[in-house]
Amino acid sequence: MNQCPLCNDTSAYIERSESIHIECRTCGIYKLNRKAFDDLPTEHRLQPNLFKVSIYNMFRTVRNLPIMTYFINDDLSQITPRATLAEIIEQFPTHVSNRADRVLLTLSIKSKFAGHRLRLLNQIKDHPY
């Protein structure tokens, strides 16, 4: 099954190797270490906040930043960039002005020219980050 572990979209592309490479239209491109991929469905304290990781990661993807590898518990490997899911959830912006900055930056990246119309196809999945 190609279900994104962050948003549960079933059209994600998932490639399994040493780490799990995931490409999702909602969450962008990211990796999970194998343990995080296997254990995430039972991580009930993380599940309600995974949308924050989805938003954070899509923000990275649209800015063409290096692919992030996420862990549940950091294994102190040499993989970079990396973060635990809890770290991303904790640093999620809570102030409206911080989120507004991200929305404007993302819309400017996605706009090909001034006045370009962007269509949001799904109000839930096509979040403006």
Q: Nearer Cβ to Zn ion, position 27 or 55? A: 27
Minimum distance, C-beta of residue 9 to Zn ion, in the bound complex (Å)? 5
C-alpha to C-alpha distance for 124 and 19, rounded to whole angstroms: 28
How far is the CA of 42 from the CAs of 2, 19, 31, 36, 48, in angstroms?
18, 19, 18, 10, 12
Q: Smallest distance, Å, CB 40 to Zn ion?
A: 12
Question: How far apart are CB 93 and Zn ion at their closest, in Å?
Answer: 20
3-state secondary structure of 53: helix
Our CB check for Zn ion shows the closer of 48 and 115 to be: 48
Residues that bind Zn ion (CB under 5 A): 4, 6-7, 9, 24, 26-27
- From CA 103, how far away is CA 93, in angstroms rounded? 12
* Complex with Zn ion: residue 38 or 96, whichever CB lies closer: 38
